[in-house]
Structure 1
Amino acid sequence: MGKKLKEILQLSEAETLTTEGNRVTEKKNKKDKKKKNKERKHNHFNEENPTPELLENGQGEAKPKRKLEEALEPSEVYGKDTESKKAKKKKEKKAEELNSSKELQGNNVEANENSRDESFINASVTVSGNNTKDSKYAALNSFAESKLPEEVLECCKNFSKPSPIQSHAWPFLLDGRDFIGIAATGSGKTLAFGVPALMHILSKENNKKSKRKNPLCLVLSPTRELAQQIADVLCDAGTPCGAKTVCLYGGTSKGPQISSLKSGVDIVIGTPGRLKDLIEMGVCCLKEVSFVVLDEADRMLDLGFEPEVRSILKQTCAVRQMVMFSATWPPSVHQLAQEFMDPNPVKVVVGSEDLSANHDVMQIVEVLEDRSRDARLVALLEKYHKSQRNRVLVFVLYKKEASRVENMLQRRGWKVVSVHGDKAQHDRTKALSLFKDGTSPLMIATDVAARGLDIPDVEVVINYSFPLTTEDYVHRIGRTGRAGKKGVAHTFFMQENKGLAGELINVLREARQIVPADLMKFGTHVKKKESKLYGAHFKEITADAPKSMKIKFDNSDEED
């Protein structure tokens, strides 16, 4: 009896477990069915009304698309008065995330300290032109891959690897290709064309036994300061190779420059005006120049140097390698490239051709009246330059304005120097030197210091006057936040600048900066870029656009 009872109890227990298991299974199936119905409903909503993506957070990582419960109010999804505790928690969490994102955006430069990788690591690079996908043009990952002589790479010993513009440019330039490079300032552009220039000289020297006096390489620059900076870099780089460099610019005596040319030179760096003068005097001969670089080509044409540039280029070899670096690609620059380059030159864009500012610079814009700028400038200097040791660069628009602001600050006890067109070249060079070495770390400058100059450790840029173009604004604030460091750009914006408000707002938004409400009042309209020849209605021209063709008429049908 005991044995049978035990068996009955075991059977009933097994049945109970089976029944319980069935109940659990049924419950689970019901839940799964509910979940599938809900997902089907959500998919239906998503097809008709796709949910927007969340903005990028302070760490620069894009969040995934929001679920339907987050995109719509809970009452809209599940019916009125049915907002669950879970949905409430999600809503609160989302609000906290958005608030923290805003706080991060408004914080000082430290907010992005851990959010950005080392400079250039994730830089996007676009390469276009004929035959650019050949394996021999693969980007270089190290200096060793270039297989260049040690004396040529001596100038790169302080760098761990080539910058993106260098790694993509060198394979093409060393192969003799015509080249267009668009990259931000401080990206290593000078060595991007400097190293191939040295290799060009060495290859010519090996093929020619007789001593040569005329230069082989020419670099044109829009400003004296940029020309001097390029000369400093190429002089240091060329010394181990035995390459001689001379810098030709106006505002100083021609005598020493003529003497340098007569003693023999390999690389000539110059501004168009002075170079043309020396060519016309017969002391500078470019007939052997077969490697030509136009640096800041767009700025050169903006300053009205196009006739001089064309005249100079015609003095060089008919067969030459052309290199152009330009921050933008307007029709005038494209036309110049069409005339003096191969039909389809290589074009390398690091980053974007669209106007964008350095994301390592915190941009602060204030809308002010003219009469309140002086007091505000002094208040900012007391904030940013209290120790009077860190470098602060103040940009103004006009030469007379530079002198006035300099005198105003000197009267108030600030140690300040200035750089502008009304100053003699000697005084400009001295002021720039005092600013660079930290003897006078506060400098007032016009846009002659906005492009190309490599001034180390500028912590703050203050735009006392907004520039004439948003491109110049981007270049100005690019004097800080260089080589992966952080910087601050504080800008005064006035009623008279309202035509540029839309472009400035776009630059601020692209860099995830705060757009002040006072700036938004001027509107977000962006004025269409105009061509001097065709007005505002023209099509953007790509680098590989075909050249224009002359039409020849057949006269065979004409009567004798």
Structure 2
Amino acid sequence: MAGQKQELPVSGEPLAAVESPMTDATNKKKKKSKKNKHAEVQVPQEVVEELSSKEKKKKRKREEKEMEKEKEEKKKKAEPEASNGGESEQKVVVTGKGAEEAKYAALTSFAESKLPENVLDCCKTFQKPSPIQSHSWPFLLDGRDLIGIAKTGSGKTLAFGIPAIMHMLKKNKSGKGTRNPTCLVLSPTRELAVQISDVLSEAGEPCGLKSICVYGGSSKRPQIDAIRSGVDIVIGTPGRLRDLIESNVLRLSDVSFVVLDEADRMLDMGFEEPVRFILSKTNKVRQMVMFSATWPIDVHKLAQEFMDPNPVKIVIGSEDLAANHDVMQIVEVIDDRARDQRLIALLEKYHKSQKNRVLVFALYKIEAERLERFLQQRGWKAVSIHGNKAQSERTRSLSLFKEGSCPLLVATDVAARGLDIPDVEVVINYSFPLTTEDYVHRIGRTGRAGKKGVAHTFFTQQNKGLAGELVNVLREAGQVVPTDLTKFGTHVKKKESKLYGAHFKEIAADAPKATKITFADSDDEN
């Protein structure tokens, strides 16, 4: 210690004889170590092996628990998107006669619905109903007419599909059934019709219900044969449905459950007249369900004409136009003639591996055809879907894109809504759409299921009339607004066209309609 004199050993005395506090502690440790070593030797080998085995088991169990915990955490993160359409935290507004009654309380689990096991069989992969399902089922199962405003990927198909199945089972509980369908689902595009059909076919199979999907661009004969053999559910596009009705092949007099999916898109595409014709052929005593991403004037008028005076209306999120905030929006003001080379440069940036999914949007069918050839000639593996292609080719292109064997797809707006295309990393708008609403739906193909996405958009002089609306969309989502875009002006005109009813709710219901030009095609113009 400091201040004390330490005695040194005398000559001839070994150093080990002198013990400082440090050396004393060291010796004690050595003695203890020897004792422990001696003790270890005395433990039988079998006991040592048993202890070692137990330790290994404990370690393995700890690792398994940690892995299980990690899986659960990942599952919890993914589930709101997979089963709830990413809307678990969005505002839900329910209005309509008796909406506040206890019997219409939102479901918190599938079991709470008290539906038969075979009906809920298609829901077994989901943890709980999505918001649109949990709020709409109590009303639909009670026979109420319903309007649902919800974005793509919200679980809408099963939201109307499960109640439709229950409706048909109650109608046919005698077991005899009928040759004519009881349920009708109208869709604006072939691809969405096929997607709905896949879901309803799987959901109806355990209940013994048969469904058929009818659309233009393919042979009528297999569709006619299936209808004549007897079906419970018909899913179709307006053009082919009308054709089959006028040919006396399809009779809708027994249809008492009717669904209009993507109603706003259906009317935007010029299908109002055939939709009215088809609805007039269904049973006068029917349950009507209408789903729409927005609520323009003409959809509102259609609902007033064909639904009960007091339908239930469920809004998930908002009726207003808003872009997905998980998508990074890049808007590039560009000369029209520079787009081809710029597209190649972007593909070299975003699609260098040629393995990730990239979706390129064109405005017209002829433009999509040209882009597909242009990209293929320059060594890119690309496919396309548009109205000029036969349905078999469209289905094949979409399948190749979905499975990833050809992850570069050129499409018109037939792919902008409703389609469940997983893991699209990048959307490139080669041509800006005719409306900002379609722009929002296009870029919504990426940034899904909680993932981030990129939308790169070409904006040209010809699009300047939509600059103000696009600026608003970008600002609402907290995106960068390029200076070149604001040079076109940021004024937003109030529109009286049905295309923009969702933007300006103050437009009167009796506002005059804009003249719409429609193009002849079997089922869709894109």
Answer yes or no: same fold by TM over 0.5: yes
Q: Secondary structure at the match of 2:212?
A: strand
Residue identity in the other structure for 1:324:
M
Aligned residue number for residue 344 of structure 1: 310
Q: For 2:398, which of 419, 432, 442 is the aligned residue? A: 432
Matched, 1:529 2:486: no
Q: Secondary structure at the match of 2:118?
A: helix
Aligned residue number for residue 104 of structure 1: none
Q: For 1:167, which of 134, 138, 155 is the aligned residue? A: 134
What TM-score comes out, normalization by structure 2 length? 0.78
Residue identity in the other structure for 2:303:
A
Aligned residue number for residue 509 of structure 1: 475
Matched, 1:379 2:345: yes
Residue 268 of structure 2 contacts residue 498 of structure 2 at CA under 8 Å; is this kept in 1? no
For 1:374-429, what per-residue CA distance to the aligned partner results, in whole angstroms no more than 9, with x for missing partners?
11111111111111111100000011111111111111100000111111122111
Give 1:157 shift.
1.4
Q: Secondary structure at the match of 2:451?
A: coil
Q: For 1:201, which of 150, 156, 168 is the aligned residue? A: 168
* 1:88-487 matches, cutoff 5 A: 119-206=86-173, 208-487=174-453
CA distance in 1: counterparts of 2:381 and 2:169, whole angstroms: 47
CA distance in 1: counterparts of 2:185 and 2:88, whole angstroms: 29
Residue identity in the other structure for 1:230:
I
Residue 394 of structure 1 contacts residue 461 of structure 1 at CA under 8 Å; is this kept in 2? yes
Give 1:457 shift.
1.1
Give 1:483 shift.
2.1
Give 1:539 shift.
4.4
Give 1:277 shift.
0.8
For 1:153-198, what per-residue CA distance to the aligned partner results, in whole angstroms no more than 9, with x for missing partners?
1111111111111111111111111111111111111111111111
Residue 428 of structure 2 contacts residue 457 of structure 2 at CA under 8 Å; is this kept in 1? yes
Unaligned segments of structure 2, at least 5 residues: 1-76, 510-526
Q: Secondary structure at the match of 2:258?
A: strand
**Same amino acid, percent of matched pairs:** 74
Q: Secondary structure at the match of 1:405?
A: helix
Superposed CA RMSD in Å reads 2.1
Unaligned segments of structure 1, at least 5 residues: 1-113, 543-560
* 1:80-91 matches, cutoff 5 A: none
For 1:429-470, what per-residue CA distance to the aligned partner results, in whole angstroms no more than 9, with x for missing partners?
111111111111001001111110111111111100000001
CA distance in 1: counterparts of 2:176 and 2:164, whole angstroms: 20
Residue 435 of structure 2 contacts residue 466 of structure 2 at CA under 8 Å; is this kept in 1? yes
Give 1:537 shift.
11
CA distance in 1: counterparts of 2:314 and 2:416, whole angstroms: 23
Give 1:367 shift.
0.8
Residue 296 of structure 2 contacts residue 498 of structure 2 at CA under 8 Å; is this kept in 1? no
Give 1:209 shift.
4.0
CA distance in 1: counterparts of 2:451 and 2:351, whole angstroms: 18
Residue identity in the other structure for 2:128:
K
Aligned residue number for residue 110 of structure 1: none
CA distance in 1: counterparts of 2:161 and 2:209, whole angstroms: 11
Q: Name the stretch that deviates more: 248-257 or 119-128.
A: 119-128
Query: How many equivalent pairs are there?
Result: 427
CA distance in 2: counterparts of 1:537 and 1:302, whole angstroms: 17
CA distance in 2: counterparts of 1:139 and 1:505, whole angstroms: 37
Aligned residue number for residue 25 of structure 1: none
Q: Secondary structure at the match of 2:428?
A: strand
CA distance in 1: counterparts of 2:504 and 2:214, whole angstroms: 39
CA distance in 1: counterparts of 2:278 and 2:160, whole angstroms: 19
Aligned residue number for residue 19 of structure 1: none
Distance 1:386 1:338, change over 3 A: same
Residue 531 of structure 1 contacts residue 538 of structure 1 at CA under 8 Å; is this kept in 2? no
Q: Secondary structure at the match of 1:394?
A: strand
Residue 460 of structure 1 contacts residue 488 of structure 1 at CA under 8 Å; is this kept in 2? yes
Residue identity in the other structure for 1:153:
L
